[in-house]
Each structure stands twice: as C-alpha cells, then as structure tokens.
C-alpha cells in the first residue's frame, strides 16, 4: 500500500496524490471497504481465491485491481496490506482523465450489482 502508515512516497505530484486519495475515499464511502489503496502494489492470491474471484472480475484494464479488491473483501477474503517504498515515475503514461472515467464506470457497475 502506498497510502497507509509505514509507506514512503518519493517524487509524487500533488495532483496525482490528491486524485488517488479522493478515489480511495470514494471507494471507502461507496463500498465500506477497509483497504487503503486499491491501485498500488502487487496482488497475491491463493489458488483457491484466484479460482473463486478471477472469473468474477470483468475489467482487464486499470480498474482490475480495484474490482478484485472490492470483490475479495465483499466475499470475505482477508486482505493484508504491506507498506511500500514508492518512487513516482515522472514519465508516467497513465491518462488520468480516461482512467478516472473507466474507474467511475466500474464502481457504478459494482454498486448496481449489489456490492
């Protein structure tokens, strides 16, 4: 996790930090989740969890991480968060507006599905 206690973030632009924190707050408010950062870090799953959850995940783009975590938590899987040392890439090619719109559509889809 990049947004929790113990993490170290280097070189992150304020607008990206704000966007990330707002996004994670929106997830927390809409889905009452306990995890702190839906998009940063590695995701490791047991074989049983992967077999149960991956068929449910519909998005194969940037929203994949968020969808996987929301589904895992709502299905009762334990999520362990480990702080990371994050060095921001100044040459990032992530298109924030289109990614944000994709994420909002995904959140709306999950909310309509009852999660």
List CB contacts of 77: < 8 A, sequence separation 6 or more: 49, 53
* Alpha carbons 27 and 66: distance in angstroms, whole number: 9
Residues acting as catalytic residues: 65
Are 37 and 1 within 8 A, CB to CB? yes
Are 62 and 103 within 8 A, CB to CB? yes
Helices 96-112 + 14-31 axis angle, to 10: 0
């Amino acid at each position: 996790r990049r947004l929790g206690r113990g993490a170290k973030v280097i070189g992150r632009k304020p607008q990206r930090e704000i966007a990330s924190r707002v996004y994670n707050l929106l997830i927390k408010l809409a889905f009452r989740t306990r995890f702190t950062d839906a998009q940063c870090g590695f995701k490791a799953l047991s074989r049983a969890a992967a077999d149960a959850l991956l068929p449910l995940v519909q998005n194969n783009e940037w929203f994949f991480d968020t969808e996987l975590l929301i589904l895992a938590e709502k299905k009762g899987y334990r999520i362990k968060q480990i702080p990371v040392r994050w060095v921001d890439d100044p040459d990032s090619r992530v298109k924030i507006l289109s990614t944000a719109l994709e994420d909002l559509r995904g959140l709306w889809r999950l909310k309509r599905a009852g999660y």
